[in-house]
Amino acid sequence: MRTLALILMEAGPLPPGFHLHIDNAPWMPLDIEDIEISGPNSLPTISVAHYGKQNGDAMRDPEMLFEMRRDGSEIVLAPYYWRNDYLGIEQYSSYRDDSQKLFTLSGLKQQHEAFARTWDRNLRSQGFYEAFVHSRSR
């Protein structure tokens, strides 16, 4: 998720619970937020989503949750959740059960990683990084 990492680095130090909203017409806005929970590997989690509306309700199209860690000066994002409200699908590829045992569904994890790479390429080609930089300079 190089595009998201670039946006997060451009944003600079962010406070806990941060929320970034990026308008980039004609595309659906992009929301990136710290949801202040730990992921399955006890790392901070960020939510990344496009939201549409149906009957006045916010609909995720899609939302992914990523564990976020720093590797030197780089931000590394690892997906573990995918949701699309229009399709009625919610998937965890990594999670802890009630006894805190870690489960990873490797096939689903690979699907989430592949989707994240495709989504990242789309965000980049649609100019979300540039839209974020432009919004900061106004």
Each residue's pLDDT tens digit, 2-15? 999 999 999 989 99
pLDDT digits (tens, 9 = 90+) for 84-108: 999 999 999 999 999 999 999 999 9
Rounded Cα–Cα distance for residues 16 and 133 (Å):
21
Q: Where are the alpha helices (DSSP H) in the chain?
A: 2-11, 106-125, 128-136
CA–CA dist 136, 56 (Å, integer): 29
Read off the pLDDT of residues 56-94 as tens digits, 9 standing for 90 and up: 999 999 999 999 999 988 999 999 999 999 999 999 999
Average pLDDT over residues 106-125: 98
Give pLDDT, residue 137.
82
Amino acid at 36: E
- Percent of the chain past pLDDT 70, that is, above it, reads 99
Residue 31 has, within 13 A of its CA and on its CB side, a CA count of 18
- Give the mean pLDDT of 111-123: 98
pLDDT at 138 exceeding the cut of 90: no
